[in-house]
Chain A
């Protein structure tokens, strides 16, 4: 059994679920890691250390910026010449696109957001969520190779063996790009909700603190956003202490408190961290579908009737501006940080 594992990275920063995919591939047999881009030697080396039997590196100027078309063509060419049984990807915005296109080239299909994958003779049976995770399906792909994008944190991460040596083979890029990347905006920092073990999220309630006075000269909307930013600072403190990421409800995003990349829920990200702390979030269904598979859910809300409490294992009825800093302090002490 030969599996290709596509190592997804952004400017050399690898999506951790790529390694989880590599671990899964190893459990089926031979794992060949694919690394595309320029100046990606470190990524290739890491792939060896995480257990790849071989790494195929396509280092070409056409691959410097991710463009779905060239990445897909390069993948399709490699799959055609080497005939893997399976191609695994971490589920990301990029891999959804390139896997989608490559499946068209190879006349096969893609199983997305896979949380379990069983081998049955020559075929693979994937478990994946449908209807926003309200139902699960088992699904198969009759094409060859089978392509699957795996959900982050659903499969164990293999150990890294520093300094391990292995076979790194150069391969060529294929196909033509159909777009140009004009630039990146640096104003937003990376938000990796999918891989975060802990997420602390804030909602509309984060702007509700009458006890702090915004700087003079602000209109009502500016004052609201300013208050919310003080609230998100408390959320960030706790998230940072716990090694986690900051999430948000849509009301917080729509209110301009925080960027869309942080949004959890139906039209944002679906996440399943070990710990999810919701502060000032009421618990609308569109938010719940994004986080209810977290292992442990804690809710802080000043309204005892907020629906979020029905989903939570632990609840605190109180003002997040008082509870959050106290919780950060208590955690600091107890975790010895």
Chain B
């Protein structure tokens, strides 16, 4: 099976992110592989282990995103490809989907393309379904479990209403959630392999594509209103006394 895992690089979730002078700043916090995309790589590797084949990690981003791709290689991906082009500034999700679809075609297609649920930065959660639509492939979203059987794939979708089992023919686009299993740690051998790997960088002209015109654009950045942090500790002699006081406080806030 030929499997592609789509990953993005984002600022670490511990980063203190602020809007500053019309830009987003995350100080000196590291850039990491988007946490959901670690699950995508994990899901892809599980399928490779189950059915054989290869896993290719694919990212649209700047040169720095090679580090995120190296993480995927260290986890066990066979190869990594970066699509990078100065003309990709202000890419929106439809644009990202078109570029990803073109890259997937250039790779020579795939049996399965695995995405994360959402990114930590822009977090639209649209790219997987849009890539599926551009490719004309079925979309099996929010998979917590994947099972390939011959030419078809069945996933357990994790929805608010419960689990839903959904089946489609390959090739298909999937997105995965945390229930797929903890992402494996890069092995020592994996890290060595990744550090030596040369990651090909494809430009738009390599893909035979032009820069998609952005449809969704940002007009303003704001910091959320500062949050009230004055904490009042409720104390008392017995749990009943504490509960009594706390109940009064909660009721007085008129949130019920």
A residues with CB within 8 A of B: 10-11, 13, 67-69, 72, 92-94, 96-101, 103-105, 107-113, 125, 127, 129-143, 178-194, 197-198, 242, 250, 253-254, 260-261, 263, 266-268, 274-275, 285-286, 289, 292, 295-296, 298, 309-319, 322-323, 325-327, 329-331, 334-335
- Apart from A112-B124, A138-B221: 5 A-B pairs, beta carbons within 8 A: A110-B93, A130-B123, A131-B17, A184-B163, A313-B253
Query: Secondary structure at chain B's binding surface: helix, strand, loop or mixed?
Result: mixed
Please judge, given known A-B contacts A96-B126, A266-B13, A314-B234, whether A137 and B218 are in contact too, CB under 8 Å.
Answer: yes
Contact A185 B228 (CB under 8 A): no
B158 contacts partner chain A, Cβ-Cβ < 8 Å: yes
Contact A136 B255 (CB under 8 A): no
Q: Which of B58-66, B79-87, B164-172, B189-197 participates in binding chain A? A: B164-172
Q: Which of B48-56, B202-210, B244-252 participates in binding chain A? A: B244-252
Contact B256 A187 (CB under 8 A): no
Option from A103, A132, A187, A292 in Cβ contact (under 8 Å) with B13: A132
A194 and B168 CA atoms in complex are apart in Å by: 29
A96 and B232 CA atoms in complex are apart in Å by: 39
User: What's the nearest-Cβ distance from chain A to residue B35, in Å?
Assistant: 6
A86 and B251 CA atoms in complex are apart in Å by: 40
Query: Secondary structure at chain A's binding surface: helix, strand, loop or mixed?
Result: mixed
Contact A139 B138 (CB under 8 A): no
Chain A to chain B: the 6 pairs with minimum beta-carbon distance, closest first = A178-B138, A326-B243, A100-B129, A109-B216, A179-B168, A330-B247
B residues with CB within 8 A of A: 11, 13-14, 16-19, 24, 26, 35-36, 92-94, 97, 120-130, 132-134, 137-142, 144, 154, 156-169, 177-179, 182, 214-224, 227-235, 239-240, 242-244, 246-251, 253, 255-256
Write out the residue numbers on chain A whose beta carbons fall within 8 Å of the beta carbon of B255. 197-198, 274-275, 295-296
Considering the complex, give the chain B residue whose CB is closest to the CB of A263.
Answer: B178
Write out the residue numbers on chain B whose beta carbons fall within 8 Å of the beta carbon of A189. 162
User: What's the nearest-Cβ distance from chain B to residue A140, in Å?
Assistant: 6
